[in-house]
Amino acid sequence: MPHIRALAVIIFKSVGYKSRLREITGRSKGRTLEQVIGKLRVYLTGWRNYSQPTLF
């Protein structure tokens, strides 16, 4: 599973990924915790599906 760890490192070092997470979790938006968790769930699921290794 080293290739999965390497992939995770690439994703977490992505500048776009980090900035989007900061945007979603920003403290000055006036949203409830449930709203933030819902947005995070959608975004993280999308990233997981995008970066999932393809099986042939």
Q: Does 33 have pLDDT greater than 60? A: yes
Structure tokens at 38: 């819902």
Of the pLDDT bands very low, low, confident and very high (cuts 50, 70, 90), residue 28 is confident
| Helices then strands, each counted (H, E), the chain | 3, 0
Q: In the chain, which ranges are E strands?
A: none
CA dihedral 38, 42, 44, 50 (to 10 degrees): 180
| Angstrom distance (rounded) from CA 52 to CA 56 | 13
Of the pLDDT bands very low, low, confident and very high (cuts 50, 70, 90), residue 34 is very high
Query: Quick one: pLDDT at residue 35?
Result: 93
Provide mean pLDDT across the span 26-42: 89
